[in-house]
Amino acid sequence: MGLDFQLLNSTPTGGRRAALHLPHKTVQTPVFMPVGTAGSVKAVPQDVLESLGSEIILGNTYHLYLRPGHEAIRRMGGLHKFISWPRALLTDSGGFQVFSLAQLRKVSDEGVQFRSHLDGSSHLFTPEHSMDVQIALGADICMAFDECTEYPAERSRAEESLRLTMAWAQRSLTHFRAHQHEVPWRAEFPGRSQSLFGIVQGGMYRDLRRQSAERLVEMDQKGSSGAGSGFDGYAIGGLSVGEPRDLTLEMISEVLPLLPANKPRYVMGVGYPDEIEQYARMGVDMMDCVLPTRAARHGLLFTSEGRLNIKGRRFAEDQAPPDPACQCMVCRRYSRAYLRHLMQAGEPLSATLNTIHNLAYYLGIMQRVRDSLNPQT
């Protein structure tokens, strides 16, 4: 069994409270997942992530494939062991980074030929290869290999991109089901397996989104009609790529009702604090975003009083905590003046403390949403 999605409560407006049982951890949803690109949520030690209440984090397949390499990670027992993260992990397909980071891309039906942004070496990612890499990494949840349609995109471009993504989704699923027994932690978790999510694309075209969702939901392991051979969950990708926010919302609203209620729904790459709260209340179970971590390294703090650019001169002697309403280990101990000083002085502790606060803020939002979605007892 891959995942067990235990729905605990639903609200009339679509919000849902669930427990997502994964091999390495039961994750309380709706959940925000910090991004650990190259096997580290930048600047934050794993024990701090645990104490912040992170139950699942992301790894990026593209980065880990290039360095240190998925075969090395497999030999070391998988990503959980390699990075010493015993809780749940999700890996993306590598598709998004191939399109945003790699050089000299050549897309064909087969897959994407690209050059590494690290050393210029040449690589081919196909749906099958992405599955092999993700199985070697051994995350609890893997993602189908897709093409993230850029914004804006002409309809013909969005259609062609969707055609590719749908073909790749089927190939991902077939290859994943045929090889998922190769996951490195198989012997440690008898009867448990990785899960695979399909990704809804279609640019900003409602009918393409609809088509994408419907086809994914119908998709099954090729040549099999057995129950449970389809995707274990569904993601909505290709959002937060520069479009206005009402368009993001429109696409999510269009797709959510088409996805099966008994499987988790994941919106990829969102968002600002008010966005993640809004989407969670609409019935999105999982979200991830580099925003809280990346913004932190640039001195942007999310607080109950709004955004704070901690570099500002006005904080030079401000002895208040970054967010007076926050109980995180940073807000309990350090002042705005000190955080500002650390940035000004280029101290590495700056990234660590800022990131811890921002993650605490994001995880706190989701905790409050979960509390409000809990069944009334």
Under the binding rule (CB under 8 A), the answer on residue 338 touching its own copies is: yes
CB of 156 to its own copies, least distance (A): 39
Q: Which two tokens mark 369? A: 């949403």
CB of 145 to its own copies, least distance (A): 23
Query: Sign of dihedral through CA atoms 334, 337, 338, 343?
Result: positive
Under the binding rule (CB under 8 A), the answer on residue 188 touching its own copies is: no
Under the binding rule (CB under 8 A), the answer on residue 363 touching its own copies is: no
Under the binding rule (CB under 8 A), the answer on residue 113 touching its own copies is: no
CB of 81 to its own copies, least distance (A): 8
Any idea which residues carry the catalytic annotation? 92, 288
Q: For residue 314, what are the contacts with CB-CB under 8 A and spacing of at least 6?
A: none
Under the binding rule (CB under 8 A), the answer on residue 351 touching its own copies is: yes
Q: Which residue in the set 58, 83, 98, 284 belongs to the binding site for its own copies (CB under 8 A)?
A: 83
Residue 113 in 3-state DSSP?
strand
Nearer to its own copies, 207 or 317 (CB): 317
Q: Which stretch binds its own copies (CB under 8 A): 21-29, 123-131, 161-169, 343-351?
A: 343-351
Q: Are 106 and 114 in contact (CB under 8 A)?
A: yes
Residue 194 CA from chain centroid, whole number = 16
Phi, psi of 206 (to 5 degrees): -55, -40
Q: Are 172 and 131 in contact (CB under 8 A)?
A: yes
Q: For residue 188, what are the contacts with CB-CB under 8 A and spacing of at least 6?
A: none
Nearer to its own copies, 18 or 296 (CB): 296
Under the binding rule (CB under 8 A), the answer on residue 348 touching its own copies is: yes
CB of 332 to its own copies, least distance (A): 9
Q: How far, in Å, are 5, 12, 86, 135, 268 from residue 193 at the CA level?
A: 14, 33, 15, 10, 22
Under the binding rule (CB under 8 A), the answer on residue 344 touching its own copies is: yes
Q: How far, in Å, are 137, 316, 336 from residue 339 at the CA level?
A: 36, 9, 5
CB of 298 to its own copies, least distance (A): 13
Nearer to its own copies, 137 or 235 (CB): 137
Helix (H) / strand (E) containing 98? helix 95-100
Under the binding rule (CB under 8 A), the answer on residue 178 touching its own copies is: no
Residues 295-324, mask of contacts with its own copies (x by CB under 8 A)? ---------------------xx-x-----
Residue 40 CA from chain centroid, whole number = 14
Q: Which stretch binds its own copies (CB under 8 A): 33-41, 87-95, 137-145, 257-265?
A: 33-41
Residue 1 CA from chain centroid, whole number = 21
Q: Which stretch binds its own copies (CB under 8 A): 8-16, 69-77, 100-108, 266-274?
A: 69-77
Q: How far apart are CA 243 and CA 238, in angstroms?
A: 10
Under the binding rule (CB under 8 A), the answer on residue 342 touching its own copies is: yes
CB of 56 to its own copies, least distance (A): 19
Q: How far apart are CA 207 and CA 142, in angstroms?
A: 26
Q: For residue 338, what are the contacts with CB-CB under 8 A and spacing of at least 6?
A: none
Q: Is 242 left (phi over 0), alpha (psi -120 to 50) or beta?
A: left
Q: Which stretch binds its own copies (CB under 8 A): 37-45, 178-186, 190-198, 223-231?
A: 37-45
Footprint of its own copies (CB under 8 A): 38-40, 42-47, 63, 67-68, 72, 75-77, 81-84, 316-317, 319, 329, 333-335, 337-338, 341-342, 344-345, 347-349, 351-353
